[in-house]
Amino acid sequence: MSAETLAYAVADGIATIALNRPQVMNALDADMIMRLRAVCEEARDDATVRVIVLRGNGPAFLAGGDVALFHANLPNLPAMVEALAAELHHAIIALRDAAKPVLASVHGAVAGAGVSLLAAADLAIAGADTQFTLAYSRIATSPDGGSTYFLPRIVGMRKALELMMLSETFDAATALALGLVNWVVTDAELAAATDKIAQRLVNGPTLAYGETKALVNRTFERALSSQLEAEAHAFARCATTQDLAEGVTAFVEKRKPVFNGR
């Protein structure tokens, strides 16, 4: 497994996962997918990590799967797809299970599995010149990476089907209007704006973020009564933390809280 296809670094509580095949716009190959699973699981399990940032090196975030690899392996493609999709899907599950915020910072091309990875994040920021497309139908396949799970929840079922079936390209302003990204900034501002959001998150109440994320992850499968019960239990768990004690103390003392993620 080569680390060159994907760069991973942890600094000051922020884990940065940077896709690193810029010569092919970060198209996913087997090596990158296996590396992606490994680092997503590592970031999920590392207690020192309080925020995960996803980004791409070079001219794009992620231009989907490596179609040249598919073409070179047509006779064995079904078995290859099953194996690689399983690895990719472990990465997606790790991001969703991580009890900490995941921020996607995207630019250039976001296609196919790039949209899936973006949709799996908790929050997303895009450069204004970013171009998005599901792309799968262009090569006569259905989506993977969780697109069919996340997109109907984010943009609605009918719009999701339109994006998947027609594979039309849309811009960052459209992605913002659809709720696929939270913020759009100029490409020149993207790195600084991403860091600003990451810093805000890394200094936030990490355990409360984790409880909030877990509640939202389950909301569509629970009845209201069950969700309310889960909320009460989550709030009670938060009530045992140092951060909550600091938050309520800071509130009554009329000062800004200092959270340590414990």
Residue 113 and residue 220 in one domain:
no
**Residue 182 domain-assigned?**
yes
pLDDT per residue over 60-98, tens digit each? Answer: 999 987 777 777 878 888 888 888 899 999 999 999 999
Residue 123 and residue 224 in one domain:
no
Mean pLDDT of each 10-residue bin along the chain, 262 residues long: 81 98 93 96 98 97 84 82 91 98 98 96 98 93 94 97 97 98 98 98 98 97 96 97 97 96 94
Residue 178 and residue 198 in one domain:
yes
Residue 22 and residue 123 in one domain:
yes
Residue type for position 148: T
Distance CA 107, CA 62 (A): 9
Q: Which domain holds residue 198?
A: 3-202
**What share of the chain has pLDDT > 70, as a percent?**
99
In sequence order, the β-bridge partners of residue 62 are: 110
Residue 127 and residue 169 in one domain:
yes
Distance CA 72, CA 58 (A): 25
Query: Any idea what the CATH number is for the domain that residue 240 is in?
Result: 1.10.12
Q: What is the CA radius of gyration of the chain?
A: 19
Looking at residue 75, its pLDDT comes to 81
Helix crossing, 224-238 with 206-218: angle to 10°?
170
Residue 242 and residue 147 in one domain:
no
Residue 21 and residue 129 in one domain:
yes
